[in-house]
Every structure is written in structure tokens, then in C-alpha cells.
Chain A
């Protein structure tokens, strides 16, 4: 149980275009989803916290107009990187927290490798 998927697993896009990444909880309902970015050989940096039906909370320094997050249902959150630039190339990982059980436990998706050319 507690499976989280992401789609796509990797994507290459041209500078200036937008890319959407989906994060789904497959066998549980996720009231909260988190989006992280990980550059090569670095740690996971929390970008935003996404709650179903409400606006995402962004971490300091993360541009909310550039990284659009939508959490429209209890099983799906999306991250859209708008007007992507090469410096946005990174590994984007989501995680989800369930409605029951231990509130701090997060289940991670497999990540999406974004390359902007």
C-alpha cells in the first residue's frame, strides 16, 4: 500500500515552454502533497506544500507564478513549470501524506527528471 506515482518520469523541453508534472496517490487519499526539487549531488529542497482544495503554500524563494501547483482532488496534485529555463533542469519529487495514520509519514513518488534545452 501507500503507492505514489509521478508522470512523466522524464521530460525534455525547450526554453520558454511550460511543463506539467503529475503526482498521484494510487491506493490512498492524500490531503497533503509536497513538492521537492533536487539538483545533482544536493539535498531535497521543499518547494511547496499542497492541500486539496486550497492554495499551495510556497517556501521562501520559490516563485509561485513560475511553479504553479494544483491539488484538485485527494489523489492528484500537479506542478507546472512555466516558461522553463535551463536552470530549472532538475529532479522533481513529490510526496503524499494520507488522511489517516501517522500524520508525519510521507510517501515519495519516483521523481521526474526535467531537462530544459
Chain B
């Protein structure tokens, strides 16, 4: 079945450094790749997404890259701040139902 692998599971960086989280998906029909930030006990918040017809997308300090051939996509956060500390999830969707398959999550800690 569909599967999304996410690495690393935890990531600790110094404030101001960059953070990169990587995901691999199994279903070649996937064509939508959102990233979510989730704080403890709260709903996932969409922070950026990319569709399969685009290789890269940027929004201020956040960027996502997609390599459809390799079935990889990555989240890049630059100039990290302590408030970026949270759990980040990648997801992939491609069926006509629109269902999302989530990666395992990455706990990002940004140390001041």
C-alpha cells in the first residue's frame, strides 16, 4: 500500500541554522505533497505544499523541493527560530479520494 517515510525523527539545531527534513513516498501516482506543523495537543497546520508539476516552492523562510523521479521531497527551513520548535509531518496524496498518507513526523528543536 501507500507509504511515506520521513527522516530524521528528531532534529536539534541552533537558532539561526537551517533545518532539512526529508520524505520518500511509494505511490508513483501521488501528486500533492503538503507539510504540516503540529504543536502539542493541537491540530496540524499546513505550512507549505507542492504539487507534482512544480519542482520547488518557497515561502519566506520555508521551502519545499520535489524530485518525482526519485519520489523524494524535502522541507527546508532557514534562519530557524525557537518558535519553529514543533513536530513536522510530511504527507502525500494522489488518489481521487484526496486522502493523505502521513510520514512518521520529525520533532524539531531550535535551541536559542
Chains A and B are bound partners: yes
Q: By the criterion CB–CB under 8 Å, are A104 and B102 in contact?
A: no
Looking at A43, A91, A108, A113, the one whose CB has the most chain B CB atoms below 10 A away is A43
Q: Are B105 and A42 in contact (CB under 8 A)?
A: yes
**CB of B98 within 8 Å of the partner chain:** yes
Known: A42-B105, A43-B105. A34 touches B99 (CB 8 A): yes
Interface residues of B (CB under 8 A from A): 1, 32, 34, 41-46, 49, 89, 93, 97-105
Tell me the count of chain A residues lying within 8 A, CB to CB, of chain B: 23
Query: Which residues does chain B contribute within 8 Å of A42, judged by CB atoms?
Result: 104-105
A106 within 8 Å of B by Cβ? yes
Check A108–B101 contact: CB distance below 8 A: no
What residues on A are CB-neighbors of B103 within 8 Å?
43
13 of the cross-chain contacts (CB-CB < 8 Å) are A43-B103, A44-B44, A46-B100, A57-B97, A95-B100, A97-B98, A104-B93, A104-B100, A106-B98, A106-B100, A109-B43, A110-B43, A113-B41
Contact A43 B102 (CB under 8 A): yes
